[in-house]
Amino acid sequence: MASGFGNDGGRGRCFHFWQEFNKCYVSASVPQQCVNERDDYLECLHHTKEIARITRIKTEELKQAHAKKQSASQAKNEATTAADSNLPKLNIIDQQQQPVESKA
């Protein structure tokens, strides 16, 4: 909290950032000089950048998991197609050994 008091009565977690922002704002001739301090304070309060980063990481993680699942499914389909093909039926693969007759 900007008041400086946290939930348990001690200093708030963002009080240090508020002091830095306030010090900069008082000493600055133009308020735009304190943009970085303001951004730090607002990030401490709302965690917007942190949440955006976590969202991007989670989205990429889900995208990679989906791609992996899809490639596994495609490989399974290709294996099934190869097993069900006509090659074994044409005696090209899995030919049975025929006994060779010898002439004596």
pLDDT of residue 96: 54
- Contacts of residue 45, defined as CB under 8 A and 6 or more positions apart, other chains included, come to 14
Residues of the chain with pLDDT under 70: 1-5, 85-104
Chain center to CA of 58: 3
Question: How high is the pLDDT of residue 61?
Answer: 97
pLDDT of res. 100: 59
The predicted structure's pLDDT at residue 7? 74
In angstroms, the CA 48 to CA 12 distance is: 18
pLDDT digits (tens, 9 = 90+) for 57-68: 999 999 999 999
